[in-house]
Amino acid sequence: MNWLISSTLIIIPFLLVAIEAVISIRNTSYRYLFSNKKHEDYQILVPIWGNIIFLENVKYLSKYGSKVMLCTSGNESKEFYMNLDALVQKYDFKLFKDKTNFKVGEKVGSNQRAISGSIRDTIIRNALNIVKTSFVVTLDADSTTATDISFLVGELEHRKLDIASIRLVSSNSNASALTKLQTFEYVVAMNIRFLCPWLISGACHVAKTDVLKNIMNRHSLFFQGNDVEIGLLAKTLDYKIDYIPYVVFMTVPDNFKSWFRQRLAWSGGEFRLFIVNFKFIVKHPFFWFYGAITTICLFPLRGVAFFLPTFHLYIIVGLYVGLIFYLHWKTKNIWLILMPIYTLFNSLIIVPLGIIWYLYIAYKDKNYGIINNKK
C-alpha cells in the first residue's frame, strides 16, 4: 500500500508536467501565415448591460460605425439607456434591446462585472435574429483588435471556415504583478488552440451568422464555460472550426479581489465542462483526461504530494520551473520566478473552490449547464 501511494505521488505531478510540456512545446514554435484578405459583410456584436462603465472600447468601436451593434437587456435604468442612446447617435451604432424578462439577481447594475447568469448569452442569441450580414464577430466591451476586423472576417472566408477562435493578449500586462503572470498564462493557453481550436474565446470569436445562430439556439446559456460550449456545439454539428491567431487585446484583472472572483468562476466553469459534461470525453479524450482526471479528480493526490514531498517531487518541480522558463525566456521578465507559485495556488486552492462555486451557481440559476451533444 505504501508503495502504491508513493508511486502515485510521483506519477501524478510528473504527468501534469509532461502533458503541459507536450502541449506547450509542440505549439510554441508554430508559425501562421495570414492571407491578408478583407471582407466587409459583417456585424460586430458587443454585449453591454448593468453599467455603462463596462463599455471601455467605445473609442475603438467608433471607427466601425453602423457595423457595431450594442446589445443590451430590456430592463436597465433610464440613465443607462440615455448614455447608450447618446453613443448610438454620436457614432452611428446600432442598438438591440432584448425583451427577455431576466430573473432578479441576474442583473448586475453595479461596478462589478457579471460572473454568472444567462444575460450575456441570451442577448447575443436573440440579437442574432436581426443580424443581416453574412458574418458576425462578437467582441467584449473591454476588448480591441490589433488590426482591422475585416482582415479577421476575410481570413475566415479565405479558409472556408464556419467559425474560429482567436488569440487573446493582455492589454494591461504591466499594471501589476498579477497582470504580468496572466500574460505568461495566456501565451500557453492560446498556443493550445492550435491543438484544440474548439476552445473558443469568449472575448472575441468570428463565425458565419447562420452558424452562430444555430449554435446559440442550442446553447445551455450557462455563463461559465459558455465560450467553450460554443466550440463543443460547433464540433457536434460538424461545422468547420479552426484557430486564427488574430490578436485581440483584452483587460485582465489587475488586483487580487477581481482576479480571485474571475478565477473562481472559471474554475466552476471547468467543473461544469469536464465533470458535468463528461460525455464529451469520447470526442476529446486527451483534453478531457487532462481536465477531468488530472486537474479535477486527482486534486486530493496533488495536495498530499505537496504536503508530503519526496525527493522525486523536487525533481518534478525543477522540471516544471525549467518548462516555464523555456516557454517564456525571451521576455527576460523576472516575474517568471513567481509562476510556479501562481500555478500551485490555482491548482490547490482555486480548483476545489470552483466545484463549490459551480454547485452554488447551478442551484441559484436553476441551470446545470448540460450541453446538448446531439446533432
The pLDDT-based confidence of 3 (bands split at 50, 70, 90) is very low
The pLDDT-based confidence of 284 (bands split at 50, 70, 90) is confident
Q: Rounded to whole angstroms, how far apart are CA atoms 353 and 346? A: 10
Task: Write the DSSP symbol of residue 129.
Answer: G
> Over the stretch 153-211, which tens digit does the pLDDT of each residue have?
999 999 999 999 999 999 998 888 899 889 888 887 888 888 889 999 889 999 999 99
End-to-end Cα distance, the chain: 46
Residue 108, pLDDT score: 46
**366 SS3 class:** coil
What rounded mean pLDDT belongs to the chain? 84
Distances (CA, A) of 145 to 4, 90, 194, 341: 51, 22, 20, 31
pTM: 0.86
Nearest to 318 by CA among 65, 23, 13: 13
The pLDDT-based confidence of 306 (bands split at 50, 70, 90) is low
> Over the stretch 138-148, which tens digit does the pLDDT of each residue have?
999 999 999 99
Residue 210, pLDDT score: 97
> Over the stretch 80-123, which tens digit does the pLDDT of each residue have?
999 999 999 999 999 999 987 665 444 545 555 666 678 899 99
Domains and CATH numbers, the chain: 1-31+256-365 (no CATH), 32-254 (3.90.550.10)
Q: Which of 100-104, 221-225, 270-274, 366-370 has the lowest mean pLDDT?
A: 100-104
